[in-house]
Structure 1
Amino acid sequence: MIEKLLYCAVFVLFMLSVAACGCLGESPPGAAAPAEDSGLRIITEDFPPYNYINEDGNISGQSTDVVNGILERLNMKADIELMPWGDGYNIVLNEPGTALYSTGRTTEREPLFKWVGPIASYETVLYAKADSGIEIDSLEAAKKAESIAVVRDDSRQQFLTENGFENLILCEDDTECIRKLMDGEAVLWFGSSANAEEIAFKAGYDPAALSAVYPVRTVGLYIAFNPVVPDETVLKWQDALDSMKADGTYDTILAEYDLTEPGSAVEYGPETALFALMSYCDGRIASVQRGLETAAVTFEAASGDWQEIKPVLTEIEDNEPDARMWYSYTNGTYYTVVDGLASANLMNRSYFPLVLSGQESVGTVVVSYSTGKSTAIVAVPVKDGDDVTGVLGASVYLEGITEALKDELPGTVFYAVDKEGKFALNSDTGLISQEVMVNDGNTSFGRAVEYMLFTGEGSVEYESQGKNWNAEFRKSPLTGWIYAVAESA
C-alpha cells in the first residue's frame, strides 16, 4: 500500500513538472505553429505558365508558386480552385472573402477590386492562322476583321470592348479560342506570347500553324481581392510579396519558369544612367516633334485634304517606325497613315484643347485608340494665321522605347512619370501607362513621386516592394516628365 502511494506521488510530481515546463499540450520549443486557415476562397484559371494543372494533377505555375509563397510567409493555408475565367471573375466580383489570380490590372478594373502585386506581366497579341495571309497593322484594322475569339471577362475582352469592338466571339478559355480560330469560326484570336505555343500544343495543334500578326501591349498581373476583404488582409499579403521580392525568392520563381532572369547589378552610375535615359527619350520624341513642325507649315497640311497630307506623314513614319502618325480635324475626327479614317474621336483627349488653342502638346501618355498601345502624344497645330485648322500628331510607342532602353541600360531600374501622374516609362514594362497615384498614392513610393513632381530635380529615398531605394531624378524641359533611375540601398 505504501509503495502504491509513493508511486502515485512520484507520478503526480512528474506530471506537475511537465506542465510547469509548458510541455503538455504545446509544441516543442522552436517548432512552427500550425498554419491557420486564411479565410479566403482563392480562385484561378488554366493559363500557363502562370497557373495550370501539372502532370500530377496539382495546380501549379509561376503565379501559383508566388501565391503559395505568400501563404507560407503568413503561416496560412487555403485551397486553390481552378475554374473557367468568367466564372471565377464573377465570383470574386460578387462574393466577400474571395481572391482571383492572375488578374490583369487595368483602368476599367481598378475600382472593382483590391490589389496585390504585381506578380507577373504578359504581352497581349493578336494571332491568325499561319496560312491565312492576314496582316494587321493597327487595332483599328482589327475592328474590321470578321471575328475575334477572346476569353469572356478577361482583361483582353474588356480592353477590346472599351475600344468599341463589336466583332468578338466570347469563349470560356484560350483553348476554346484557339479551336475556334483553327476551325475557321474566328479569324483572329487575342492571346498572349507567354503561352500561345503551349496552348496550341495542348489543344492538339502545331504551334507553327499560328501567326502573331499584331502585338498590342504588355499588362501587369496581380492578385485581385473582393473589395469587402479588409485592408489589413490585403496589406499583409502585399507585405509578404514585397518580402519575397526583397530576399530574392520572387526572382528565383520567375527564373524557374524562364520568364525572366534574376536582376543584374546596375552597370552605370545613377547620374550617368539618368543622363542616358533623358538623352535617348527626349532625342526620340524631339525628332518626331521636329518632323511634325516642318510638315505643319507645308502646303499639303494647309490644304486640310487627307489625300494630300498622307504622303507627308507617311515619310515621317517611315523614319520613325516606333510611332503612328495621324492628322485630325478640329472636331476630333482623325486619320492615320495605316487605317485612313479612324472610328474614334479625339475631342475627349486631355491634350486636345491645348492644341486647339494653338499650342503644341508633347508627352501626354495615353493608350492609343488606333493601335491599342501605350503611347506618348506629340501634337502640333496647323494654322492659318492665328486660326487652328487641324492637328498633325504622332503616337510614340512607349514599350518600344522601354525595350531599347533596357538593352542600353541593362540591369537599371528606371521610370518616367508624365505630368498627369502616369508611368510613361518603366523597366517593369507592365506598369507603363498605369496611374501612380491611384496605385501607390498612400505609399512611400507615392509620396516620393509627389516630391519629384513638386521639386523637379534631386534625389529621394523611398521603400517599395520590400526594399529601400535611392533615386536620382530630373524633369524634362521637353515633355515635363520626371525621369528617375533608382538603386536599392
Structure 2
Amino acid sequence: MFERSFLRFFALVMMFVTGYGLAQAPISPSSIAKSPVASSSVAQSQHEADAQSLLSAFVSYTDLRMKGVQQSLETLASTTEARSAKWENMKPLLSSYQRSDAGLIVWFVRPDGTYSTVDKGPMDVTLSDRDYFPALMSGQKIMGALVISKSTGQRSAVIAIPMEKNGKIIGAIGASLFLDKLSEQVDSALALRPDAAFFSLAPNGRSTLHKQTDRRFVDPRELGSETLKKAANEMLSNPEGETTYEFDNATKKAIYRTSPLTQWKFVITFTDAHRK
C-alpha cells in the first residue's frame, strides 16, 4: 500500500523535473545558446534549477514518510489493546499495520527494555542500551534515531511513541524504518544522471540515506577528503545553503536543506562544470 503511494507521489514530482539537467533526460538543444561558454552557463543553471526541485521533493517525501509512520504509531498506542501493555493483546493490531507496509518492523518495548517484535515475538536482548531509550522512557517521542536493528540487522531509523497510564510510562510502541529500502526507492524514483547524487546526514554527521550502498551510515568527514570534511561541517552548522568539495576525482557542488522534522540535512550533489 505504501509503495503504491510512494510511486504516485514521485510520478507527480517527475512530471515537473523530467528534462532538467540532473534527471536522465537530455536538455532541449533549443534551450542552449550556440557558443560553448553560453551553453555551459545555461546547462549549469539548468543543473541548479533541477537540483532545487529534486531537493524539495527529497525533503518533503522523507518527512511525509516518517510523519506518516509516527501518526500510525500514535493511533496504535492509543488503543485499548496497546494500553493493556500485554503483547498478546496488541500483537494482532501491530501485525496488521506491519503487513500494510513492507518497509519497517513494528515492536513494543517495556520500561525495563525487554521487547517483542511482530516477526519474532519476545526477544532475548533488550533496548535499554540504546541511546534513545532514556528519553523514550521519560515520555519523549523518538523521531529518526539511527540504529542497526537487533532483530533484523538492517540499518534503520527508529520512530517510537511512549505510552503513559496513571502518570507512569508503561512502555512504548515503535517502528524501525529500513533506510536501505528507503534509499533504493528514492534512487529509483529520482533517476539521477551519473554525475548527480543524493544523501542526508543526521546531526551527528552519519549518513542516513545515500545513493551509494557502501556510504550509508558513514560519516563523510571520515572519507579522506579535507574539502568534503569542510563541506560536511558547513552543512551540519547551517540550516541551508550551497557548498563545493573535491571527491571521486571531481569537483562537486552541493545544495542542502534541513528537515524541521528530523533535523537531518538533505543534500543533492552534481558535478560543478565551472570548476572541472
Q: Secondary structure at the match of 2:128?
A: coil
Deviation at 1:348, TM superposition (A): 1.1
**Match status 1:454 vs 2:210:** no
Which residue of 2 is the match for residue 260 of structure 1? none
**Match status 1:426 vs 2:182:** no
TM-score by length of 1: 0.44
Which residue of 1 is the match for residue 117 of structure 2? 336
Residues 111, 137 of structure 2: 8 Å contact kept: yes
**Match status 1:289 vs 2:70:** yes
**Match status 1:443 vs 2:222:** no
Map 1:459-474 onto structure 2 (within 5 A): 459-474=242-257
Which residue of 2 is the match for residue 365 of structure 1? 146
Gaps of 5+ in 1: 1-264
Residues 379, 392 of structure 1: 8 Å contact kept: yes
Q: 1:270 to 1:386 in 2, by over 3 A?
A: farther
Q: Secondary structure at the match of 1:372?
A: coil
Which residue of 1 is the match for residue 271 of structure 2? 488
Residues 158, 176 of structure 2: 8 Å contact kept: yes
Q: Secondary structure at the match of 2:156?
A: strand
Deviations 1:11-53 (A, max 9, x none): xxxxxxxxxxxxxxxxxxxxxxxxxxxxxxxxxxxxxxxxxxx
| Matched residue type, 1:373 | Q
Residues 108, 117 of structure 2: 8 Å contact kept: yes
Residues 355, 381 of structure 1: 8 Å contact kept: yes
Q: Distance in 1 between matches of 2:259 and 2:224?
A: 22
Which residue of 2 is the match for residue 94 of structure 1? none
Q: Distance in 2 between matches of 1:348 and 1:442?
A: 33
| Matched residue type, 2:205 | G
Which residue of 1 is the match for residue 188 of structure 2? 407
| Matched residue type, 1:432 | R
| Matched residue type, 1:368 | S
CA RMSD of aligned residues (A): 1.6
| Matched residue type, 2:259 | S
Q: Distance in 2 between matches of 1:386 and 1:440?
A: 47
Map 1:93-108 onto structure 2 (within 5 A): none
Deviations 1:143-200 (A, max 9, x none): xxxxxxxxxxxxxxxxxxxxxxxxxxxxxxxxxxxxxxxxxxxxxxxxxxxxxxxxxx
Residues 417, 425 of structure 1: 8 Å contact kept: yes
| Matched residue type, 1:310 | K
Residues 367, 433 of structure 1: 8 Å contact kept: no
Q: Secondary structure at the match of 1:483?
A: strand
Which residue of 2 is the match for residue 66 of structure 1? none
Which residue of 1 is the match for residue 177 of structure 2? 396
Deviation at 1:435, TM superposition (A): 3.2
Residues 288, 320 of structure 1: 8 Å contact kept: no
Deviation at 1:465, TM superposition (A): 1.8
Q: Distance in 2 between matches of 1:441 and 1:451?
A: 17
Q: 1:350 to 1:403 in 2, by over 3 A?
A: same
Alignment partner of 1:273 out of 30, 54, 73: 54
Gaps of 5+ in 2: 1-20, 24-46
Q: Secondary structure at the match of 1:362?
A: strand
Q: 1:385 to 1:452 in 2, by over 3 A?
A: farther
Percent sequence identity is 31
Q: Distance in 1 between matches of 2:169 and 2:230?
A: 40
Deviation at 1:287, TM superposition (A): 1.1
Map 1:230-249 onto structure 2 (within 5 A): none
Which residue of 2 is the match for residue 243 of structure 1? none
Deviation at 1:359, TM superposition (A): 0.8
Higher RCO (Cα < 8 Å, 6 or more apart): 2
Q: What is the number of residues matched between the two proteins?
A: 224
TM-score by length of 2: 0.77
Q: Distance in 2 between matches of 1:385 and 1:454?
A: 41
| Matched residue type, 2:61 | Y
Deviation at 1:343, TM superposition (A): 2.0
Deviation at 1:382, TM superposition (A): 0.9
Q: Distance in 2 between matches of 1:285 and 1:428?
A: 21
Q: Distance in 1 between matches of 2:166 and 2:55?
A: 40
Residues 472, 484 of structure 1: 8 Å contact kept: yes
Map 1:6-17 onto structure 2 (within 5 A): none
Alignment partner of 1:416 out of 200, 225, 229: 200
Runs of 4+ aligned structure 1 residues displaced above 3 Å come to none
Deviation at 1:441, TM superposition (A): 7.5
Deviation at 1:436, TM superposition (A): 3.5
Q: Secondary structure at the match of 1:348?
A: coil
Deviations 1:213-246 (A, max 9, x none): xxxxxxxxxxxxxxxxxxxxxxxxxxxxxxxxxx
Residues 225, 247 of structure 2: 8 Å contact kept: no
Q: Which has the larger radius of gyration?
A: 1
Map 1:241-260 onto structure 2 (within 5 A): none
Which residue of 1 is the match for residue 31 of structure 2? none
